[in-house]
Amino acid sequence: MTCGASPTTGLLIADLVHSGDTLMWGAGQSEPVALLERLNDELDSLPEGCRAILGLTLTETLAAPRFSARVAVRAFGGAGTTRRFQDLGNLDALPMNYSAIPEAIRRRTLPVDVALATLSPDGAAYNLGILADYIADAVAAARVVVAEINDRMPVTFGDTSVAPDRITRSMHVSRPPVEMPVPAIGDVEREIGRLVATLVPDGATIEVGLGAIPEAALAALVGKRDLGVHTGTMGDGIVALIEAGAITNARKPVDTGLTVTAGILGTERAYRWAHRNERLRVRSPRHTHNVAVMAALPDFIGINTALEVDLTGQMNAETAGGRSIGMIGGHADFMRGCQLSAGGLGIVALPSTARGGKVSRIVPRLRDGVVTTARGEAGVVITEYGIADLRAKSVGERARALIAIAHPDFRRGLLEASDALV
């Protein structure tokens, strides 16, 4: 392992990159901030023709205009600060289910040549800390791995160990991991969370997405008992339920006694809880997003959201007004897994309107024609106006159920539009 910059050029990253290479780095809470700052400094030394693959980004560390002038950006969606590149006309979306990403990296149908990773020191080895996600496979497959060794990154158990011989070059830092504050929960989110909780039995295994509504649902589950967790991401809300005794993972037939996630995205409280926690496993999407694993979990309940749902049950979690503002992530994976679980249920919960009440989120047809989750995977849709169970319902029955939970201002228009559905 070579530590520090190249002794001849003073470069840390750029002299390892070849023309045509694809770069990838950890998302969200595992953004290698110091390495991205260094990449800013070395942009002029990068060869022509490079690409970068981005996931969820939460910082603006990367100098987007300068980076866009040098590197073509592909991304799994426009969530977080990734949408800056869309504003610059330099974001080509990769519409991929998260379950497919690790194998695509391994087979090089989605090639990664240079991986930038945040690692924590772990004895003689290194650790991916609070995120395994696709970066675990990128580190295993890349020709070059440049590591930001952060002694404040938690050490976790799971698919997180990285051997020293995988590291091409490294730098050492000491900084808190990127945090995501707990979102504010209003009256609408609170009511939706209450309705979600009525559908979650004691002993269920839950999966939760990100945002105010999933957090509101978690808060409403505090009175439940022996819940389990198998999810793509988790944060402070899950930790609070564990500490309250609602989550024990005792009834899970798979990973019994263990909270399983592909990553922890929250505040310092969640990261402190995760550090060397033997009841936590941070796993690759090969496991967390594997429908066969979910199918083996009875009463597997997914709690996710969407940007809009049409009257036939199709769901869009990616675009609004022709702009990529979300991502596929595990939306379709978890909806399918819930459907295959004995007693499982896929819940999509969303406010009835957007843009201050000007736009209905229950729509006749998806506006951009983007289907994140097909109507055949639909389970239950919840707004602040109630619950629409779409399972084994005809198109007409679905339309009537969804219109009943739409905002009253839009119900007449939706009813008129439903006549044209097939």
Structure confidence at residue 158 as a pLDDT band (50, 70, 90): very high
Contacts for 206 with CB less than 8 Å, ≥ 6 apart: 200, 221, 227, 228, 229, 230, 231, 300, 301, 302, 303
Q: What percent of the chain has pLDDT over 70?
A: 98
Identify whether the C-beta of residue 271 lies closer than 8 Å to the C-beta of residue 30: no
CA distance linking residue 78 with residue 55, whole number of Å: 8
User: Are both 7-173 and 187-418 of the same fold?
Assistant: yes
H helix or E strand, kind and range, residue 84: helix 83-87
Q: Among the CATH numbers 1.20.1280.50, 3.40.1080.20, 2.40.30.10, 3.20.19.10, which is that of 187-418?
A: 3.40.1080.20
Q: What is the pLDDT of residue 1?
A: 43
Q: What is the pLDDT of residue 182?
A: 86
CA distance linking residue 117 with residue 109, whole number of Å: 21
pLDDT of 413 over the 70 cut: yes
Mean pLDDT, range 66-85, rounded to an integer: 92
pTM for the model stands at: 0.95
CA distance linking residue 90 with residue 112, whole number of Å: 19
Return the domain boundaries, the chain: 7-173, 187-418
pLDDT of 6 over the 80 cut: no
Identify whether the C-beta of residue 9 lies closer than 8 Å to the C-beta of residue 38: no
Q: What pLDDT digit, counting tens, does each position of 312-335 carry? A: 999 999 999 888 989 999 999 999
Tally of CB atoms within 10 A around 6: 14
CA distance linking residue 120 with residue 189, whole number of Å: 36
CA distance linking residue 124 with residue 417, whole number of Å: 64
Q: What is the pLDDT of residue 260?
A: 98
Q: What is the pLDDT of residue 4?
A: 65
Out of 166-170, 230-234, 242-246, 325-329, pick the least confident. Answer: 325-329
pLDDT of 8 over the 70 cut: no
Query: Superfamily for 7-173?
Result: Glutaconate Coenzyme A-transferase (3.40.1080.10)
Average pLDDT, the chain: 95
Q: What pLDDT digit, counting tens, does each position of 86-132 carry? A: 989 999 999 999 999 999 999 999 999 999 999 999 999 999 999 99
Place of tokens 């675990």: 136
Tally of CB atoms within 10 A around 249: 21
